[in-house]
Structure 1
Amino acid sequence: MRFHATTISRVSQLKNRAPVLFQSSQLRSNHQKRCNFGIAFDIDGVILRGRVPTGGSPQALRRLYGDSGELKVPYLFLTNGGGVPETKRAKELSELLGVNILPSQVVQGHSPFRNLLKKFENELIIATGKGNPALVMSEYGFKKVLSLEEYASYFESIDPVSQYKRWTTAPVSDRKTPAVPRYDVFSERIKAAFVVSDPVDWGRDIQVLCDILRSGGLPGDANRNQPPLYFAADDLEYQAAFPSERLGLGAFRIALESIFNIINPKGLEYVSYGKPNPFVFKNAEAILSQLQSSSCIDHSENNGVSGSHPFETLYMIGDNPSVDVKGARQVFSEEKIIMQNFQQTWLLTLLRRQ
């Protein structure tokens, strides 16, 4: 049977967009059985607005657990956001939403960077973005990682307008003198640059990244081959606490690429992860299967023996068709897209349909 995409409402014209539900196959009458479907939730604009839960999302999520706190339905959070380790994000979400969320249930834009550990584990790399990007990479196992902020602090005048930035205009007596570099940054080349989350200081980061990428990993050196550059996501805008959408990591990538391509003979080379990259959705399906096997027990099949079995339906619930739906479409050959205004009870409505 062939399934098709159905648009019930023109989401792109809505100021406050309703969540988008992606399902990989048609609903079936036997969904009363436990663990035959899994759910991937976007966070910003769906579960949270800033740090405030949307509508009845905490109550809705509790319906995914049994009376004793066991997980009845395998689900995870699939977000392009990040900047903190998955362990910390899981703890924050647990506190905000009132349910026990495991680190394995949090898949952030930079989570796929783990797969690059074998290549760069012992190489000098830099990481930039809000939060604590260097800590994120260190927890993934990278041995020699510096934040771009720390790295730039060792090069005098690399950011020519730093003295005019309010957060750096403290009295000279109060300014911190850069510590002795942990690595030989003046002779050892940066082997890769990672944009882990939305950068805070675009001007400095674009300048320093251009220096690193044009020089082959050593600012001030002659033009050389560009080191690898990785972005955790590439979404142009996202929904945060402000009423209208905010510029995302994709906007920073466009700014960097536009400038780099003007000042450098060869165009910028990079790899972007995050939704809608098909890899992200395939990875999410694999993680949901692991959660199904380890946390959900279906005594109606497998002769009462716990274990995973193929999902009949996978749901991607998000608020951005060009990110949340586009990637799922590229992965699953049979799909049906439903856009409905669940408002504050969107998940409760979804669960009652099973």
Structure 2
Amino acid sequence: MRGFRFALVRAARSRSRAELHTVQRHRPSDLAQRFSHSASAPARPSFGIAFDIDGVILRGRSPIGGTPRAIRRLYSEEGTLKIPFLFLTNGGGVPEHRRALELSQLLGVNISPKQVVHGHSPYRELVKRFEDDLIVAVGKGEPAVVMSEYGFRLGKLGKQTVTCLRKCTHHMMFIQSELKECLLSAILLIGEEIYRYSVTSCLLVDFLGLKKGINLLCILQLMILNTRINDHPLKYTSYGKPNPFVFKNAANILEKLVLSMYPNSQTSMEVKDCQFSTIYMVGDNPKVDINGAMKAGHPWSSVLTRTGVFRGKDNDPQFPADAVVDTVEDAINYILEKECVQ
């Protein structure tokens, strides 16, 4: 009997040593797998957000309602960006880095210049196109500073020397003397569309010698007048909302923003199409913000606030949004709840 028990003990010990050897053989890879899982970067968000500024985030220079508190929910406790978002506005007149600094101070978070897209931001891509041409930059704010930061040679537009810098009402513009004798390639307008009527009127009256007080039809009449100066008339192109191009450009910027937030999630070579399942456009203007998101199509979804242009009780009948809320704080609550983000 003792011999039988001894044989059982020896067999048990042999099994224990074999099992221990098996565990030790697999343990390093198991530990590495657990370490790799714990050390891996968090999954990148499947959605992004674009906010209009005036009437949504700010009224003048004051944040609307609980906007700062709401925006902080898009950041981690350490202050790093957690949810990719940007500001998409037709306004501007100042460089993007200056607007980013202003927003950072007003909202109490760190806003990167990459997160600010003005209506004139696409002009940066036109520098080479008009490198040797005469152009006029006109608008509200500081067009000279904006255009020079984009790379335009203000002071020497094309090969012509700008001999006059004037103030026209609240707009600044660069012109060249004897403008009528030069071939004008482009007039780049800076600022909200509401200002373009007075900007164009001012340009025509002050620099093309028209009689003051004449009834002008904004850009259309400028194009007609320009045919008297150039062989080829100017063609009007809008680079602001609701142009679908603006939303496609914003989606690309959000993608690059995500790659900087999560550099290990995928390489830039792998980004071919929009990787977001949804991009939310939060705005107050149905004709501009909501209409633009509708024209852009997937993956854009629209959220309409009642803090600016739109004040209706129900949805806008002409350009209905996917959701209607009172404030941007409600919009962020709606988005995070829909995306199951705490």
Instruction: Check whether TM > 0.5.
Output: yes
Letter in 1 for 2:73: R
Give the Å deviation of 1:130. 1.2
Instruction: Name whichever of 188-197 and 104-113 sits farther off.
Output: 188-197
**CA drift at 1:47:** 0.6
* d(CA) in 1 for partners of 2:325, 2:142: 36
Rounded to whole Å, the distance in 2 between the matches of 1:322 and 1:204 is 22
* Alignment-mate amino acid for residue 56 of structure 1: G
Q: CA deviation at 1:205?
A: 4.6
State the SS of the aligned residue for 2:111.
coil
Q: Distance in 1 between matches of 2:299 and 2:50?
A: 17
> Residues of 2 paired with 1:34 and 1:138: CA distance?
36
CA–CA distance in structure 1, aligned partners of residues 175 and 140 of structure 2? 22
- TM-score normalized by the length of structure 2: 0.63
Q: C-alpha offsets along residues 190-223 of structure 1, whole Å, 9 cap, x if unaligned?
A: 43211111587966752534786xxxxxx57xxx
Aligned pair 1:320/2:305, yes or no? no
Aligned-partner SS, 1:270: coil
**Structure 1 length as normaliser, TM-score?**
0.61
Rate the CA distance shift 1:263–1:71 in 2: closer, same or farther, 3 A: closer
Contact 1:34-1:72 within 8 A present in 2 as well: no
> Any conservation in 2 of the 1:82–1:197 contact (CA below 8 Å)?
yes
Q: Which structure dedicates a bigger proportion of its chain to helix?
A: 2
Q: AA paired with 1:339?
A: A
1:285 alignment partner in structure 2: 251
Counterpart for residue 145 of structure 2:
135
Query: How far is the alpha carbon of 1:348 from its aligned partner?
Result: 3.0
What is the Cα deviation at residue 271 of structure 1?
A: 1.1
Is it true that 1:276 corresponds to 2:242 in the alignment? Answer: yes
- 2:325 is the alignment partner of 1:341: yes
**Counterpart pick for 1:51 among 36, 53, 61:** 61
The equivalent of 2:335 in structure 1 is: 350
| Corresponding residue pairs, total | 255
Unaligned 5+ runs, structure 2? 1-41, 210-215, 302-320
Identify if the C-alpha distance between structure 1 residues 63 and 141 changes in structure 2 by more than 3 Å, giving closer, same or farther. Answer: same
Largest Rg, 1 or 2: 2
Tell me whether 1:329 sits opposite 2:313 in the alignment: no
**1:268 deviation in Å?**
6.4
The answer as to 2:190 corresponding to 1:196 is yes
Does residue 101 (structure 1) correspond to residue 111 (structure 2)? The answer is yes
The answer on whether the counterparts of 1:276 and 1:322 sit within 8 Å (CA) in structure 2 is yes
The counterpart of 1:208, out of the listed 200, 203, 206, is 203
3-state DSSP of counterpart to 1:191: strand
Partner of 1:118: 128
Equivalent residue number for residue 313 of structure 2: none
SS in 2 for 1:271: coil
Mapped contact 1:127–1:145 kept (Cα < 8 A):
no
Give the letter aligned to residue 192 of structure 1. Answer: A
Q: After the TM superposition, which residues 58-69 of structure 1 pair with which residues of structure 2 at under 5 Å, given as runs?
A: 58-69=68-79
Alignment equivalent of 2:218, drawn from 256, 260, 276: 256
Aligned to 1:37: 47
Alignment RMSD (CA, Å):
3.8
Q: Percent of aligned positions with the same letter in both sequences?
A: 46
1:254-299 deviation per Cα after TM superposition (whole angstroms, max 9, x unaligned):
842365478677886311110011110000000001111101478x
Distance 2:225 2:131 in 1: 31
Moved more, 133-142 or 187-196: 187-196
Distance in 2 (CA, whole Å) between partners of 1:204 and 1:283 is 26
Distance 2:224 2:300 in 1: 42
- CA positional deviation for 1:150: 8.0
CA–CA separation in structure 2 for the residues paired with 1:263 and 1:46: 38
Aligned partner of residue 124 in structure 2, secondary structure? helix
Aligned to 1:294: 260
For 2:244, give the aligned amino acid. Answer: P
